[in-house]
């Protein structure tokens, strides 16, 4: 708890808009001994040494910097005491406008002065209620477990060993290499990216098995993973019985399995021996079983998609008409249902891999037969990632290869050959193509399903959660944090993360290994690995008042909390991502972080001077803004000269999931007229850094609305709005719209009570 705070005002960054000396004077008057040093400095960035000297000479235990947003230059100010920033530039001076939109004069407007004063007072109390977290450092095990010994897993093992860490590699098959064993010659893996390249997977296997730092278990699967990052215990079930190893982090490289052939039945797969999918064709090519001399590679699965949509709609209609009576018996083939439409999405996700793969396969067979084989790639979308475009261009000159965009409308067996009907082609005509063989794309389905389990010994169960939300892929945030999964310390790489080409899988393996290394180091230093990298705080529980309601354990998005048989939470600090969702959930408010807690934010809310006269002095609106998207969007809006109502006060929160209903009650009883919860988008293409905090907040808001209703306060006074980080041009209008609605509603009935 900071008891001697130095407050510094950055004249260059906030002067001109504000009477900074007057603000400093009011701070001295209000806070007295708590703020023994209050100084206005010409430029904060040049005052670092003098602030350090004040800390020393005055015995300060907290520093409050009033100037630019902490997102701008926060890293400049590293002192041996707690540091807080008051954002008086982007979200105060720059965002200010008069309520009636009249031009702002040269004198600091009264409302701006009031706003700045509120923010400074909130900053002081925030520091006053903040403590330095105790260390959560553990003795971290410098060993990485790699699950999956295919192309990605082998690369990960080699890269991890190259960093000096020990590696344990678990492979379920009898030999290493996985699907890469069927691809001796791949698409380009390196410069000049124009020609085929030997994959040399055998060399990778040799390097891995010869490396003394890597222990390989083949014919082995994971039985159990318990503990937390830095100190996991892995139990591996292998031929010689279970083996237990200590590891610091895990790379998940279990790869993919092909989409079931039933989904491409309407295109002949599994029905006609002349129709195969690309991965099968690769194996046939490898074993010299391809005798066809005219081959169509079809990169358009519209026929299958339409057939499944139709069958699913028919099944639904029949079920609706016949009810239970028509429901198939257990084990009976149900045909296609609506969820199959989700499964076939894997074909679209795999389009880039299939585009490159078909170029590779066509190239290989042409080369083997001196272009005596005629190959045709009929594509709806040719998706060639990045620099592999050069390979595509090279293939355009291949004598035996003809490529065209085409709608493939029918694939039929004409006895001696197959016919592929093509429409809307680049040749400007529709045609029927006679071929000996048809190659369809392979749907790469990630192997995070139940058959490849990591065996988490976690309260939330042995598997990754909610996989259906991510179509089975292992990420926890597609947009900002590749490699992350929803189990801290386990990093996904390769096709278990997303369908990708072999060169991309190698790059992915390196990325995941770096995350694993970072995780082990972070656990050793007792800091968060991501997304709040370097954060030393973690949730602390006051178990005396815990009612074992289990809300925190159930709502933690990352399975960081286990519990005992009674339901008392058992924290695992190294698994924790410091989002605060647990303390947002806790009805007893017994969870807190040393430097982010219920009382602290409640005190900040109470520090705002809410005027009694709504008509004359306007409403007051509290904005709790997620610091990952909403807060930076506000910063960018202010910096770009976009302004919003001066009746608002913004408090950043770690995640909307950390918003405890008591803060809304605090605001209402203080006399605020409205509360806006501003956070990330959620849903299928979610952005929430903590996966579902924003969504959880929305659910809790319904409970808040009920409470407000009971109290006779309009629930419309609390609104949640979604904003992405780049929507800075939209956010001022969102705020002003809310302020207008609240103004029309009139004052909070609790005002002045």
Contacts with ligand SF4, residue ranges (CB under 6 A):
539, 541, 546-552, 556, 558, 560-561, 569, 576-582, 585-586, 588, 590-591
Q: Where are the alpha helices (DSSP H) in 557-619?
A: 581-585, 598-607, 614-617
State which residue, 497 or 575, has the beta carbon closest to ligand SF4: 575
State which residue, 363 or 660, has the beta carbon closest to ligand SF4: 660
State which residue, 437 or 582, has the beta carbon closest to ligand SF4: 582
In angstroms, what is the minimal distance from the CB of 696 to ligand SF4?
10
In angstroms, what is the minimal distance from the CB of 662 to ligand SF4?
13
Q: Tokens in use for 326?
A: 């028509």
Integer Cα distance of 652 and 578 in angstroms? 15
State which residue, 579 or 601, has the beta carbon closest to ligand SF4: 579
Dihedral of alpha carbons 726, 727, 728, 729, sign? positive
In a 3-state reduction of DSSP, which class is residue 588?
Answer: coil
Integer Cα distance of 155 and 429 in angstroms? 46
Residue with tokens 């491409």: 264
State which residue, 269 or 680, has the beta carbon closest to ligand SF4: 680
State which residue, 522 or 586, has the beta carbon closest to ligand SF4: 586
Examine residue 192 and say whether the peptide bond preceding it is cis (omega within 30 degrees of 0). yes
State which residue, 254 or 460, has the beta carbon closest to ligand SF4: 460
Integer Cα distance of 657 and 693 in angstroms? 4
Would strands 591-592 and 674-679 be described as parallel, antiparallel, or unpaired? unpaired
State which residue, 376 or 541, has the beta carbon closest to ligand SF4: 541
In angstroms, what is the minimal distance from the CB of 274 to ligand SF4?
53
State which residue, 377 or 546, has the beta carbon closest to ligand SF4: 546
State which residue, 579 or 610, has the beta carbon closest to ligand SF4: 579
In angstroms, what is the minimal distance from the CB of 128 to ligand SF4?
23
How would you class 136 by CB atoms within 10 Å of its CB: exposed for 0-12, middle for 13-18, buried for 19 or more? middle
Would strands 431-435 and 418-423 be described as parallel, antiparallel, or unpaired? antiparallel
State which residue, 443 or 539, has the beta carbon closest to ligand SF4: 539
In angstroms, what is the minimal distance from the CB of 529 to ligand SF4?
12
Q: Distance of CA 661 to CAs 589, 600, 609, Å?
A: 10, 14, 21
In angstroms, what is the minimal distance from the CB of 139 to ligand SF4?
21
In angstroms, what is the minimal distance from the CB of 569 to ligand SF4?
5
Nearest Cα neighbor of 682 from 719, 650, 656 is 656
Integer Cα distance of 699 and 416 in angstroms? 62
Integer Cα distance of 560 and 552 in angstroms? 10
Kindly list the strands in the beta sheet with 143-147, ordered across the sheet, starting from the edge strand earlier in the chain: 214-217, 166-170, 143-147, 249-252, 490-492
In angstroms, what is the minimal distance from the CB of 487 to ligand SF4?
11
Nearest Cα neighbor of 143 from 490, 517, 524, 518 is 517
In angstroms, what is the minimal distance from the CB of 476 to ligand SF4?
11
State which residue, 397 or 565, has the beta carbon closest to ligand SF4: 565
Which own/partner contact pairs does 431-436 have at CB distance under 8 Å and 24+ positions apart? 433/296, 433/376, 433/378, 434/294, 435/292, 435/294, 435/295, 435/296, 435/376, 436/274, 436/291, 436/292, 436/293, 436/294, 436/295
In angstroms, what is the minimal distance from the CB of 639 to ligand SF4?
30
- Assess contact for 557 and 691: CB atoms under 8 A: yes
State which residue, 576 or 725, has the beta carbon closest to ligand SF4: 576
Integer Cα distance of 476 and 459 in angstroms? 18
CA dihedral 22, 28, 29, 35 (to 10 degrees): 150
Nearest Cα neighbor of 303 from 255, 271, 256 is 271
Nearest Cα neighbor of 180 from 199, 158, 153, 198 is 199
In angstroms, what is the minimal distance from the CB of 558 to ligand SF4?
5
In angstroms, what is the minimal distance from the CB of 575 to ligand SF4?
7
In angstroms, what is the minimal distance from the CB of 470 to ligand SF4?
18
Would strands 275-277 and 490-492 be described as parallel, antiparallel, or unpaired? unpaired
State which residue, 276 or 529, has the beta carbon closest to ligand SF4: 529
Secondary structure, 3-state, 309-350: HHHHHHHHHHHHHHHHHHCCCCCCCCCCCHHHHHHCHHHHHC
In angstroms, what is the minimal distance from the CB of 551 to ligand SF4?
4
């Amino acid at each position: 708890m900071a008891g001697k705070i130095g407050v510094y005002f950055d004249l260059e960054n906030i002067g001109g808009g504000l009477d900074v000396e007057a603000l400093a004077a009011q701070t001295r008057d209000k806070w007295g001994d708590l703020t023994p040093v209050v100084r206005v400095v010409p430029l904060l960035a040049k005052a670092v040494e003098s602030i350090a000297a004040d800390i020393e000479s005055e015995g300060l235990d907290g520093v409050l910097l009033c100037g630019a947003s902490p997102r701008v230059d926060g890293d400049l100010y590293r002192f041996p005491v707690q540091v807080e920033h008051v954002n008086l530039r982007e979200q105060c001076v720059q965002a200010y406008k008069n309520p009636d939109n009249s031009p702002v004069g040269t004198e600091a407007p009264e409302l701006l002065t009031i706003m700045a004063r509120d923010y400074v007072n909130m900053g002081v109390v925030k520091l006053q209620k903040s403590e330095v977290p105790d260390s959560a450092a553990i003795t971290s095990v410098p060993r990485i477990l790699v699950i999956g010994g295919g192309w990605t897993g082998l690369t990960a093992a080699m890269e991890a060993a190259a960093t000096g860490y020990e590696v344990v590699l678990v492979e379920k098959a009898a030999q290493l290499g996985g699907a890469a064993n069927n691809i001796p010659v791949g698409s380009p893996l390196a410069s000049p990216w124009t020609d085929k390249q030997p994959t040399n997977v055998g060399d990778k296997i040799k390097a891995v098995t010869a490396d003394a730092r890597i222990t390989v278990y083949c014919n082995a699967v994971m039985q159990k993973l318990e503990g937390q990052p830095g100190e996991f215990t892995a139990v591996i079930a292998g031929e010689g019985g279970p083996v237990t190893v200590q590891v610091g982090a895990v790379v998940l490289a279990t790869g993919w399995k092909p989409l079931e052939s039933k989904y491409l039945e309407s295109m002949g797969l599994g029905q006609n021996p002349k129709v195969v999918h690309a991965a099968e064709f690769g194996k046939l090519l490898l074993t010299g079983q391809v005798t066809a001399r005219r081959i169509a590679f079809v990169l358009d699965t519209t026929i299958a998609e339409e057939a499944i949509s139709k069958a699913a709609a028919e099944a639904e209609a029949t079920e609706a008409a016949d009810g239970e009576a028509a429901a198939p018996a257990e084990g009976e083939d149900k045909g296609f249902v609506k969820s199959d439409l989700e499964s076939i999405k894997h074909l679209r996700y795999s389009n880039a891999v299939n585009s490159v793969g078909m170029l590779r396969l066509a190239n290989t067979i042409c080369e083997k037969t001196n272009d005596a084989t005629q190959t045709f790639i009929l594509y709806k979308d040719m998706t060639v990632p990045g620099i592999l475009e050069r390979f595509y261009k090279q293939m355009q000159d291949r004598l035996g290869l003809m490529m065209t965009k085409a709608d493939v409308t029918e694939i039929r067996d004409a006895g001696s050959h197959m016919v592929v009907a093509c429409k809307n082609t680049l040749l400007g005509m529709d045609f029927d193509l006679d071929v000996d063989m048809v190659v369809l794309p392979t749907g790469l389905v990630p192997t995070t399903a139940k058959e490849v389990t990591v065996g988490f010994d976690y309260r939330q169960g042995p598997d990754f959660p909610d996989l259906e939300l991510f179509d089975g892929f292992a990420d926890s945030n597609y947009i900002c944090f590749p490699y992350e999964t929803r189990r801290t310390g386990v990093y996904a790489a390769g096709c278990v993360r997303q369908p990708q080409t072999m060169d991309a899988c190698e790059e992915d393996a390196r990325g995941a290994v770096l995350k694993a290394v970072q995780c082990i180091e972070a656990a050793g230093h007792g800091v968060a690995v991501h997304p709040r990298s370097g954060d030393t705080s973690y949730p602390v529980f006051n178990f005396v008042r815990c009612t074992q309601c289990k809300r925190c354990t159930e709502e933690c998005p990352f399975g960081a909390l286990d519990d005992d048989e009674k339901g008392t939470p058992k924290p695992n600090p190294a698994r924790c991502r410091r989002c605060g969702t647990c303390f947002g959930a806790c009805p007893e408010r017994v969870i807190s972080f040393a430097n982010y807690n219920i009382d602290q934010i409640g005190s900040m809310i109470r520090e705002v001077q809410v005027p009694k006269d709504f008509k004359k002095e306007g409403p007051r609106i509290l904005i709790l803004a997620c610091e990952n998207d909403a807060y930076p969007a506000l910063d960018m809006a202010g910096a770009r000269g976009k302004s919003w109502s001066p009746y608002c006060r913004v408090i950043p929160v770690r995640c909307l999931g950390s918003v405890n209903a008591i803060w809304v009650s605090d605001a209402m009883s203080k006399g605020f007229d409205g509360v806006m919860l501003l956070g990330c988008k959620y849903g299928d293409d979610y952005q929430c850094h903590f996966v579902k905090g924003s969504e959880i907040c929305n659910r809790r808001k319904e409970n808040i609305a009920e409470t407000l209703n009971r109290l006779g306060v309009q629930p419309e006074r609390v609104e949640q709005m979604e904003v992405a980080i780049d929507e800075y041009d939209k956010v001022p209008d969102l705020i002003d719209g809310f302020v207008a609605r609240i103004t029309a509603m009139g004052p909070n009935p609790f005002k002045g009570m």
